[in-house]
Amino acid sequence: MPTFVYMTSCDGCGHCVDICPSDIMHIDTTYRRAYNIEPNMCWECYSCVKACPQNAIDCRGYADFAPLGHSVRALREEAKGTISWKIKFRDGHEKDFVSPIRTTKWGTIPSPSDYAAPDAGEYANQELAHEPDALNIEGGLPALAPDQLKQGVV
Amino acid sequence: MGLFSRRKTVFVDSDVLVIGGGMAGCGAVYESRYWGRDLKVVCVEKANIERSGAVAQGLYAINCYMGMQWDENQPEDHVRYARNDLMGLVREDLGYDIARHVDGTVHKFEEWGLPIMKDPETGRYLREGKWQIMIHGESYKPIVAEAARKAATEVYNRIMVTHLLTDKTKPNRVAGAVGFNVRTGDFYVFKAKAVIVSAGGASHIFKPRAVGEGMGRTWYAPWSSASAYALPILVGAKMTQMENRIVLTRFKDGYGPVGAYFLHLKTYTQNAYGEEYESTWYEHTKELVGDYVDRHPVPTCLRNHALLEEVKAGRGPIRMVTKEAFQDPHKETVGWENFLGMTIGQAVVWASQNIDPKHINPELTTSEPYVMGSHATCSGAWASGPEDYAPDEYQWGYNRMMTVDGLFGAGDTIGGTAHKFSSGSFTEGRIAGKAAVNYVNDLGNEPPQVDEQEYRSLEKTVFQPMENYAVGRNEIVAGTVSPSYLLPIHGLQRLEKIMDEYVGGISAHYTTNTPLLDRGIELLGMLKEDMNHIGAEDLHQLQRAWELHHRVLASESVTQHTLFREETRWPGYYYRADHPKLDDDNWHCFTLSRYDRDSDSWEMEKAPVYHIVD
């Protein structure tokens, strides 16, 4: 539709509404379940599919070029740190893939304010946070000399 | 009782206001916090920063990484690459600036938990190509968003910013922004000492190839609604290279990326009869662009050009030869995971049409044009360069400050800096963040003042489409046809048709000329007038209405720039049929525009190009 919601699986929790980058997953006022209100503004990004706790959302390829009978299912498991895919072709053959999604625990990224505050003198130079150390190079942040930039056709 | 009698006005004070929480915005928030420990850093986003922007569905590669630690590339090498790819015209000061910082950004991403693939023999990041490294980036955006949430004082999701505010006494200074909450309908007034625009570039300004249900499967996200340009344009910021739209050669219908296929899987293209075709068009292309055709790698637009000519000659479809590479199970896995990681829709198309690239060579096509600033193109705002080496003509204030005081930009917003991609956009956000903090610290006791009259007047403008609908709807029985209002989709389709037919879209073979552009400008003028009569049934439609406003203004800018540049600089992106050749004598320059909202007019000028000369 591209994404659509199975009536018997959706419990109306609204995770898809909250996450959709295109603002097209809304709650139907009669059935109190989610649906795609604007399929032609759907990117098939699967943000809603991945976020749905009930696995109630699936995708049917765009009607103007995708024949029926296929499916691409995703299962994103944050605790395991993986995303699993099952691709089913119109002719029935299948392919499965699993990829890692993160190497650290969710929520463990430090705030930039957890690092030591920069010295007053550092504001005027060109170094950004964590530089030059984060570059892993000798000699500090590279720079051009002003006379290296000239007009002309090269 | 009016429809919105309970609508509140919410005031939010900030020191640094970041508009758009995609890759560039998250970088801006992170760096603003690092340097501005006591400052109020606010991020406002029309969706949810967990999955917003162009990286919402993930990426399978980081396309901008130098590898300075292994002496793989130096920043000046990347500048030469971008210059070459964009046919000579990039802001080399800005591009170098991103390239020198970007490795540090990528190292942080890895530390935060982004899985970056490693070369098993060297232990280095696995290269897809000279500049690209391969990642398992399904959660790229959620990871980066976590860092931004930790850094921000407040993140406001689901607020569509419609306009910037200017200082009450200094019209060329930014003072904040206004918008509305897409869920509650509340009106938001953000006051800010510095504003960083890191919103999205423009999809859906040219008619897409799919116009039915599949119109959402554009190459660039359908939610990239040109706010990157419209917000600065409206307050008079100068823009550059807005004519430099990009056309992508991609797998048919799904617009699945080809980078990993060409670079890592070593697949290649051929015409319908199994023949190599690029060399067929060498002499012809050389007549148009001279020696630029001999540069390596061949510029993206020229490769498009050869494909387009071959198809016009009747030897399409062009196919990617995948059958050989996909016999290797590792390469087959990479080929599929590449889509699942960043363009799932392509996997859906192939599954639906029984296209298994192990057995069938899939078709390629060229997309409709897009306007953005971070891929192999560089439309955007004219920004001040780095203080340590930028030429005087590129330096009038703080790094990445536009020609409006206190207004900064990053990512798609900033012009002249092609090939920054996700990592470079985040890095440019960081550069803008530090500069914005310096700007705020230097302001002292002279913060900008918002003008109540201005934001109250804008409030009326912002909600006018709902008023239009509420009134006009009573005139008709039912349905979508009204004599007094247009729905946002009507306006969008009109815009796409005008741009397609007059400004070089797919149906015109990307070709235009002065008479077509003049007519396009007339029709865009009428569309702009009709934009006062857009009707929005609900808050979702109100968001669509303002996205359309932003797209229309950006489109007008694109058209004016296309008219101004009297040459064909990037054949394969677009053609000025009345000036069919590249013209370095007259047009080895940047095009600049400034929009004056009081007179509704555009001023055009040229700006010099400075190159790194060895």
Q: With the C-alpha atoms ordered B464, B470, B472, B478, is the resulting torsion angle positive or negative?
A: positive
**CA–CA separation, B136 and A61 (whole Å):** 24
Q: How many beta-carbon pairs below 8 A join chains A and B?
A: 290
Question: pLDDT tens digits, residue range B152-180?
Answer: 999 999 999 999 999 999 999 999 999 99
CB contact under 8 A, A110 and B543: no
A9 touches chain B (CB under 8 A): no
CB contact under 8 A, B348 and A70: yes
Tell me how long chain A is. Answer: 154
Neighbours of B156 (CB within 10 A): 21
Answer whether A22's CB lies under 8 Å from B222's CB. yes
CB contact under 8 A, A135 and B69: yes
The whole-number pLDDT of residue B308 equals: 98
List chain A residues with CB under 8 Å of B358.
none
Domain extents in chain B: 9-245+371-443, 249-366, 461-582
Option in B37, B68, B543 nearest A23 (CB): B543
Per-residue pLDDT of chain A (154 residues; tens, 9 = 90+): 589 999 999 999 999 999 999 999 999 999 999 999 999 999 999 999 999 999 999 999 999 999 999 999 999 999 999 999 999 999 999 999 999 999 999 999 999 999 999 999 999 999 999 999 999 999 999 999 999 999 988 8
Is the confidence metric ipTM above 0.95 for this complex?
yes
**CA–CA separation, B143 and A146 (whole Å):** 37
The whole-number pLDDT of residue B336 equals: 96
In chain A, residues 54-113 whose CB comes closer than 8 Å to chain B: 59, 61-72, 74, 76, 83, 85, 87-91, 93, 95, 97, 99-113
CB contact under 8 A, B223 and A59: no
Identity of the residue numbered B499: M
Answer whether B574's CB lies under 8 Å from B371's CB. no
Q: Which residue has the tokens 């392919």?
A: A95
Q: Which domains does chain A have, with CATH numbers?
A: 1-66 (3.30.70.20)
Q: Which residue has the tokens 């005031």?
A: B11
* Nearest chain A residue to B343, by CA: A45
Nearest Cα residue to B581 out of B293, B377, B375: B293
List chain B residues with CB under 8 Å of A15.
none
* Nearest chain A residue to B89, by CA: A153
Q: Which two tokens stand for residue B609?
A: 């190009």
Phi, psi of A150 (to 5 degrees): -135, 155
- Active-site annotation of A, residues: 43
3-state percent breakdown (helix, strand, coil) of chain A, nearest 5: 15, 25, 60
**CA–CA separation, B459 and B366 (whole Å):** 41
* Nearest chain A residue to B224, by CA: A22
The whole-number pLDDT of residue B428 equals: 98
List chain A residues with CB under 8 Å of B146.
106-107, 109
User: Does the domain spanning B249-366 belong to CATH 3.40.50.300?
Assistant: no
The whole-number pLDDT of residue B1 equals: 41
pLDDT at B268 > cutoff 60 = yes
List chain B residues with CB under 8 Å of A22.
47, 216, 221-223
How far does the CA of residue A24 sit from the closest CA of chain B (Å)?
A: 8
**Confidence label for B411 from pLDDT (cuts 50, 70 and 90):** very high
Option in A74, A104, A143 nearest B112 (CB): A104
Return the CATH superfamily for domain B9-245+371-443: FAD/NAD(P)-binding domain (3.50.50.60)
Answer whether B419's CB lies under 8 Å from B131's CB. yes
State mean pLDDT over B266-291. Answer: 97
Question: pLDDT tens digits, residue range B470-507?
Answer: 999 999 999 999 999 999 999 999 999 999 999 999 99
* Nearest chain B residue to A77, by CA: B139
How far does the CA of residue B563 sit from the closest CA of chain A (Å)?
A: 23
The whole-number pLDDT of residue A1 equals: 52
Torsion, Cα B369 B372 B373 B375, to 10 degrees, reads -50
**CA–CA separation, B196 and B406 (whole Å):** 8
Neighbours of B37 (CB within 10 A): 11
Give the class (CATH, top level) of B461-582. Answer: mainly alpha
Residues 6+ apart with CB under 8 A from B137: B55, B58, B59, B60, B61, B62, B114, B115, B341, B342
